[in-house]
Amino acid sequence: MSILEGQTAIVTGAARGIGAAIAKSLAAEGANVAVNDIREPTETVEAVRAMGRKSISLVGDVSDQAAVEAMVQRCKDELGPISILVSNAAFSDRELFYQANMDGFRKTIDVCMWGPYYLARAVANQMIAHKVQGNMVFVSSPHAYKPIPGATAYNMAKAALDQLAKTAAVELSEFRIRVNLVHPGWTDTPGERKFFYEDELQEHGSNLPWGRLAKPEDIAHGVVFLCDPRSDYITGATLSIDGGIVLPYQEMFRIRNRPKTT
């Protein structure tokens, strides 16, 4: 039997990229999946159904609390009580903080911080009410602790998200609801094309310690691992799936390339 057979998952930001890969990977392991995105996630829903799983489309903005609560309720009504939440939806603009357009700055905070909170709150209450010993996985980022210039709002939101997840892990432990974080490295997704040209992505990827950008499936594999019942003792953890991007590899290379001394 598949490891997630009979479970109900909701995955946000899953029309494409990392979210789509996560939804498909959960389905491949037996879960029925509610697929959320701001756009219609038809391709992902059809891929899940093609595996013989149930799937519904939940079009909506996670920064809208009422919309989130309605999506969570609809998921329960149509697929059963939620046992897996994967909060993946994100938004980001790249501007210097002192020049930032405040609409984009606030939208980044709303989607990346408030959205996960609304989801965690609604799903936790449902899990508690139905006595579901479930899993929550939040897709965060090394931006949570690396001050990447031009991404102040995103940095702030991801730092807050990490604290949300860790605090929720403590508060929900009495209900045997596990809460964990995933920190993807630089991943080859459509969203990266907002900031980089194709040749730039390939060049930067080749310069990483692992020699390539992550694939969405790399991140999805980690999420499935965290949701696996055999990972029962893992909560409040942060799983980095980054090909070594946070290692001090630039310093290592600099040392290696120094002239030899006698």
pLDDT digit string (tens) for 167-208? 999 999 999 999 999 999 877 767 666 777 677 777 767 778
Residue 106 covered by a domain = yes
CA quadruple 53, 56, 58, 59: dihedral, nearest 10: 110
The DSSP line for 66-86 is HHHHHHHHHHHHHH-S--EEE
Domain ranges, residue 94: 8-256
- Tell me, what's the pLDDT at 247? 79
Query: Which stretch of 56-65, 106-115, 235-244 has the lowest confidence by average pLDDT?
Result: 235-244
Instruction: Tokens for 40, please give them.
Output: 């219609």
Give the whole-angstrom CA distance, residue 228 versus residue 249: 32
Pair of tokens at residue 79: 């697929």
State residue 118's pLDDT score: 98
pLDDT in tens, 13-55: 999 999 999 999 999 999 999 999 999 999 999 999 999 999 9
Tokens encoding 23: 């939804």
Determine contact, residues 182/137, Cβ cutoff 8 Å.
yes
The first and second tokens of residue 196, run together, are 């980089």
Annotation says 154 is catalytic: yes
Name the catalytic one among 154, 197, 233, 249. 154
Contacts of 173 (CB under 8 A, 6+ apart): 235
Residue 67 located in a structural domain: yes
Q: Where are the alpha helices (DSSP H) in the chain?
A: 17-28, 42-50, 65-79, 102-109, 115-129, 152-172, 198-206, 216-227, 249-256
Among 83-97, 194-208, 220-234, the minimum mean pLDDT is found in: 194-208
How confident is the model over 86-112, as a mean pLDDT? 95
Does some domain include residue 246? yes
Q: Residue 37: which H helix or E strand, with range?
A: strand 32-37
262 is a domain residue: no
The tens digit of pLDDT for each residue in 113-164 reads 999 999 999 999 999 999 999 999 999 999 999 998 999 999 999 999 999 9
Q: Is residue 188 part of a domain?
A: yes
Structural domain includes residue 209: yes
Number of compact structural domains in the chain: 1
pLDDT score at 199: 74
In the predicted structure, residue 242 carries a pLDDT above the cut 90 = no
Which residue has better confidence, 211 or 105? 105
Has residue 66 been placed in a domain? Answer: yes
Residue 246 belongs to domain with CATH number: 3.40.50.720
